[in-house]
A and B are shown apart, each in its own frame.
Chain A
Amino acid sequence: MAKNRKGPLTKAHISFELNGEHTEVAFAPHKTLLEVLREDLRLTGTKHGCELGECGTCALLVDGRPVLSCLVLGLACAGRSVRTVEGMASAAGLHPLQEAFAEMGAAQCGYCTPGFLLTAEALLNGNAEPSRDEIKDALAGNLCRCTGYIKIYEAVELAAARMRGEDARPAEKSLYGEV
């Protein structure tokens, strides 16, 4: 422990690709990717629920793979490509997953949402038509305390269908209940 710390620690400096843009950042070298993004780059879209690798809230993509950003050092991301929720929407509009989450009410408090969105995006990138069980498996490391996950599965299925080019709509019973 730095009990007799004399001055500020020397900052580390990396360059990497963040949401498609070349980015350079300096930060205290012990910082996790989560902290670098939130504190040094002020990108607060990535959330945290434990900072111990237990809840999946901080999930994002590094080189296209879902990663828990609270467990990765910022230093380990030099030269890599990082994708956060801020990179999902574009001038053209929301990403189909974001659109579907909004439409289905899959974001209640919305705190777990960025982690789910990016984990789901990685799933859909590798599997355009996942089954309900494949979706559950892919999202098993992300905790959501509000939704009971059901609207999240439905949103992922809806987005997947639209990304396959189908003119998909939410099932009536998902929005209004059974009759």
Chain B
Amino acid sequence: MAKSDGNGLRVVGRAQRKVDATPKVTGETLFADDLSFPQMVYCKTLRSPHAHARIIRIDTSRAEKEAGVLGVLTGTDLPIPFGILPVSQDEHALALDTVRFIGDPVAAVAAVSEEIAGEAIHLIDVEYEQLREITSVEDALANPEPRIHDYGDSGNLHKLISLEFGTVADGFDAAHLVREDLFFYEGSTHLPIEQHAAVAMYSADHRLTLWSSTQTPHYVHIALEKVLEMPASRIRVIACPNGGGFGGKSDPFSHEIVVSKLAMMTGRPVKATLTREEVFYCHRGRHPTHMWVRTGVTKDGHITAMHFRTALDGGGYGSYGVASTYYTGALQTVTYQVDRYKFEGARAFTNKPPCGPKRGHGTPQPRFALEVQMDKIAEQLKLDPADMRLKHLVPADSLTANYLRVGSMGLAECINKVVTGSNWKERFRRLPHGRGVGIACSSYISGAGLPIYWNNMPHSGVQLQCDRSGGVTVFCGSTDIGQGSDSVLAYIVAEVLGVDPFEIRVVTADTDLTPVDLGSYSSRVTLMSGNAALQAAERARELIAPEVAKQLDVPTSRLVFAESRVFDGENPETGTTFAEAVQAAEAAVGTIGTVGSYTPPASAGRYRGSGVGPSPAYSYSAAVVEVHVEPDSGIVRVPKVWIAHDIGQCINPTTVMGQVEGSVYMGLGEALMEEMAYRANRRVVHKCPSMLEYKSPTTLEMCEVETYLVTDPDPNGPFGAKEVGQGPLLPIMPAVANAVYDAVGVRVDEVPITPEKVLTALKRKANGKEGGGRYGPTHFPEIPWPDPTRVPPPWEGGDGKAIRPSDEDAKAAAVAQPERQH
């Protein structure tokens, strides 16, 4: 059993295995596709071959007659729309009358074998009337008709946002230097190695059970209730361990609803496992984003004003898109002080697979733009980019211009760690041609301050059971997607109750058995379910302690729970086993069970749109990337990354390291190669829906990583812990771009930074052409921005509300919720 370290913690902060490590290395862990049941049948989906079309007629009769086919579904069988956000309930399990991207689900078949189901879908005859496809943001702006959806801000513009915190024009007037830059961030996809799968079972007593590879069983539960028009109490959703998610399994999906309906129709268990090609069509990945940034700075790099514009290519459905759009403007203010800030964001519908939340959700794009621009500014001001950043950090315990409350803030130490570790001062601008280093920083939320649908209940709940044998079981709705959330629950309860984490049973992600946790998204689980577990465990200790205190005749304040014992801290021999302690408590007060829950603190912003950005705590990261650029080929190689992450407090440093290294890896993929690309001139066919063609880093591309974990416990985190799953990805892409500039003197203002782009920029530089030494966008789409909602920043006497709020603003402000259904 663990020894206590300096801060009195015995489990938290120690490197150890995950509680589910053994079943994961033996192959015992059951993922959704590993499940099978007697009489199970298989589902296949017919998908649209057209990017945009009206369905004139569907004839399923040939498929229905096929031997082995048990059920066929089309859109009219599931006519109720759904979607992850209350404001964009725009999806149908199967297209009702319109298909909106190649791969959009149209019809489904259940059959006794996967082969028969796969053949039968091609016996379904669909007559389409093709509509003009909308291929890009610019195309959407130029062609308000035909509309992809009949809702949204106008034509094919889904969402328009305009917010101004202080008058940016004044800030630009006060600046020594004002820079304008254009950037583009290509879309990319999650590529979890596990293809999505779901199995549904409907019992004779009318209960539905769905097992699925989902990160958000609670939201799937709600979607099933709505679409199937069934009481939620008769629906049970179990999230199987996910074989990677990264945000790609966070929406309720067509196949989850379809197998449920087919199970109800056929009375047989029904399984659907998507092919890899179908996983590409599900997508919900990174939004391709155009950006325009104007920033004003003083001589020493202090930001007097920033005006940030983003235009997101949303694909065919809403998904998380409204939140994604807000996120492209929310977190610019939490790293370096920004005196005045204006954000304009737009999301367009296009006829491509829908974009949504991928690791970093809406923030990698603006972070790329901001950090590359900082590098350009530092160069113009003749400042070291690390020093310039260090000078203007947002102070701990402060409010930003857009009313985000920053608590602990360890970015200075992060920068110092990577600057020292990489020998930055000796290498920046001093390496031979072709080699370079670049620096970038970032910040991320530890969970969103507000839930996805409006309610004032806790975001995470835990039930704890202590039985007479000394066994402890933790029940929580959280979903382990590989990040180790089951282990976090066990470690925290073990810390408080002084038992071995591997003795604790963890029951998670089952809507029948576990209290609601909103899901594994927005880096919320360690902080929120961790706090709920902490509260439940502390309550259990409070139930148990008085009885032990009585027996041992010592005050409860002297009791120590450790090493599976409860004992007198001043006289450790005097004590009982944990099991005896539970028995004594059970004899005195009855069955020992407790609950814990967590609700984030209220956010400071009270304006419409203030719901996206607030978080109980912000993590910080800084990275130095070294690159080798071959001037003849434009090939960029990354031998090494130094990264420091302000984690607050590690619950388990080894799993934290794993998240940092995994984030560096995924960032490298986005920086150098990953792109969700379409053949725009060929009816927006996906260019490469396969793992071979969608380039992602293998062992041969992955770099060496030196990781520094900066700990500075945050008062809002359990034991001070903040997030790590997403933040460390953010600095990688801009640090690579900045390093490429250091190596060969060209700016690639977009990702991925492919050899072609580097080579083009090098040629332009050599030719002394206009825009010499740069590859990147040359214009930003013309967008009809609305008048901004004006909110004075805190230092201009603002109270978090908009000036002259309209009725709508007042209503929204009252609940500080940007987008909700009334």
Spell out A's residues near B (CB within 8 Å). Answer: 1-3, 5-6, 28, 38-39, 42, 44-52, 54-55, 57, 84-86, 88-89, 94, 98-99, 101-105, 107-114, 117, 135-137, 139-151, 153, 170, 174-179
- Since A54-B276, A85-B25, A110-B24 are in contact, a sample of 8 more A-B pairs with Cβ atoms closer than 8 Å, ordered by chain A residue number, is A49-B195, A55-B691, A109-B244, A117-B25, A139-B699, A142-B699, A177-B657, A178-B421
A113 vs B752: C-alpha distance when bound (angstroms): 28
Nearest CB of B to A51, in Å:
7
Contact of B654 among A104, A111, A139 (CB under 8 A): A104
Is there contact, CB below 8 Å, between A148 and B665?
yes
Is there contact, CB below 8 Å, between B119 and A49?
no
B323 CB-CB contact with A under 8 Å: no
Contacts of B663 in A (CB 8 A): 148
A151 vs B705: C-alpha distance when bound (angstroms): 11
Nearest CB of B to A90, in Å:
11
Known: A1-B119, A102-B24, A139-B699. A147 touches B662 (CB 8 A): yes
Which residue of B27, B481, B484 has the most chain A CB atoms within 10 A of its CB atom?
A: B27
Is there contact, CB below 8 Å, between A84 and B27?
yes
Is there contact, CB below 8 Å, between A89 and B26?
yes
Is there contact, CB below 8 Å, between A45 and B657?
no
Known: A1-B119, A5-B67, A108-B658. A145 touches B691 (CB 8 A): no
Is there contact, CB below 8 Å, between A86 and B27?
yes
Contacts of B29 in A (CB 8 A): 110
Is there contact, CB below 8 Å, between B241 and A147?
no
Is there contact, CB below 8 Å, between B653 and A111?
no
Is there contact, CB below 8 Å, between A136 and B700?
yes
Chain B 256-294, CB-CB to A under 8 Å as 1, else 0, gives: 000000000000000000011000000000000000000
> Which residues in chain B, 59-73, are within 8 Å of chain A measured between CB atoms?
67-68
B680 CB-CB contact with A under 8 Å: no
A109 vs B520: C-alpha distance when bound (angstroms): 13
Chain A interface, DSSP helix/strand/loop, else mixed: loop
Nearest CB of A to B161, in Å:
32
A3 vs B245: C-alpha distance when bound (angstroms): 37
B380 CB-CB contact with A under 8 Å: no
Is there contact, CB below 8 Å, between A148 and B243?
no
B3 CB-CB contact with A under 8 Å: no
A101 vs B654: C-alpha distance when bound (angstroms): 12
B787 CB-CB contact with A under 8 Å: no
Contact of B25 among A44, A102, A136, A149 (CB under 8 A): A102
A55 vs B484: C-alpha distance when bound (angstroms): 23
A29 vs B47: C-alpha distance when bound (angstroms): 28
- Please name 25 pairs of A and B residues whose Cβ atoms are closer than 8 Å in the assembled complex, sorted by A: A2-B115, A2-B119, A5-B67, A42-B36, A44-B27, A44-B31, A52-B690, A55-B193, A88-B26, A101-B21, A105-B658, A108-B483, A108-B662, A111-B31, A113-B27, A137-B699, A143-B696, A145-B192, A146-B244, A148-B665, A148-B705, A149-B699, A170-B15, A177-B660, A177-B709
In the complex, what residue of chain A is closest to B245 when comparing beta carbons?
A109
Is there contact, CB below 8 Å, between A105 and B24?
no
> Which residues in chain B, 146-200, are within 8 Å of chain A measured between CB atoms?
190-195
Nearest CB of B to A71, in Å:
13
Is there contact, CB below 8 Å, between A110 and B658?
no
Nearest CB of B to A96, in Å:
11
Contacts of B119 in A (CB 8 A): 1-3
B17 CB-CB contact with A under 8 Å: yes
Chain B 232-246, CB-CB to A under 8 Å as 1, else 0, gives: 000000000111111
Is there contact, CB below 8 Å, between B699 and A140?
yes
Is there contact, CB below 8 Å, between A102 and B653?
no
Contacts of A102 in B (CB 8 A): 17-18, 21-22, 24-25
A110 vs B242: C-alpha distance when bound (angstroms): 9
Is there contact, CB below 8 Å, between A86 and B26?
yes
Nearest CB of A to B214, in Å:
14
In the complex, what residue of chain A is closest to B483 when comparing beta carbons?
A108
Which residue of B24, B25, B482 has the most chain A CB atoms within 10 A of its CB atom?
A: B25
Contact of A49 among B22, B25, B193 (CB under 8 A): B193
In the complex, what residue of chain A is closest to B709 when comparing beta carbons?
A177
Is there contact, CB below 8 Å, between A44 and B30?
yes
B673 CB-CB contact with A under 8 Å: no
In the complex, what residue of chain B is closest to A85 when comparing beta carbons?
B27
Contacts of A94 in B (CB 8 A): 22, 25-26
Is there contact, CB below 8 Å, between B241 and A48?
no
Is there contact, CB below 8 Å, between A145 and B654?
no
Chain B 645-662, CB-CB to A under 8 Å as 1, else 0, gives: 000000001111110111
A51 vs B691: C-alpha distance when bound (angstroms): 10
Q: Which 3 A-B pairs have the closest CB atoms?
A: A45-B27, A109-B482, A111-B243
